Amino acid sequence: MTYAADLPVWAAVPTAFLLLLGAALALIGSFGLLRLGSFYDRIHAPTLGTTMGIGCVLAASMLFFSVLETRLVLHELLIGVLMVVTTPVTLMLLARAALYRDRTEGSDDVPPPPLPPVKDRDVRD
């Protein structure tokens, strides 16, 4: 069983700072979802939470448990790696779905699809 009160001050201060910083970044990211105007703008906001936000929280966790258990605790690194590899996939999926929708609706805000190769165009004409 671990108790937060056993943590020495030199470790408690940076742990608290990192936790608060990470939480603040995640909060700002979520606030951005509310504040920004278009879908494509909004999709940028949550990356605050999934990059530096999660990074700070994981660093705080590593510091906290490494000091309390007096051994190096590293498996938080895995969470970081998996976040970095998986969140872009979700974001790209959402962005591409929005782009497809906007192009189908003929919106002027998005760039047109790249021209298909020449032989396809000949067939269609």
Rule CB under 8 A: which residues touch another protein? 25, 28-29, 31-32, 35-36, 38, 40-41, 43-45, 47-48, 50-52, 73-75, 77-78, 84-85, 87-88, 91-92, 95-96, 99, 110-111, 114, 116-117
At 105 the three-state DSSP class reads coil
DSSP state of 6: G
Q: Smallest gap, in angstroms, from Cβ of residue 43 to another protein?
A: 6
At 113 the three-state DSSP class reads coil
| 42/45 Cα distance (integer angstroms) | 6
Q: For the chain, count helices (H), then strands (E).
A: 6, 0
Q: Smallest gap, in angstroms, from Cβ of residue 84 to another protein?
A: 6
H-type alpha helices, 36-116:
39-42, 47-48, 54-68, 76-104
Q: Smallest gap, in angstroms, from Cβ of residue 125 to another protein?
A: 18
| 31/24 Cα distance (integer angstroms) | 10
By beta-carbon proximity to another protein, the closer residue of 16 and 93 is 93
By beta-carbon proximity to another protein, the closer residue of 109 and 125 is 109
Q: Smallest gap, in angstroms, from Cβ of residue 13 to another protein?
A: 21
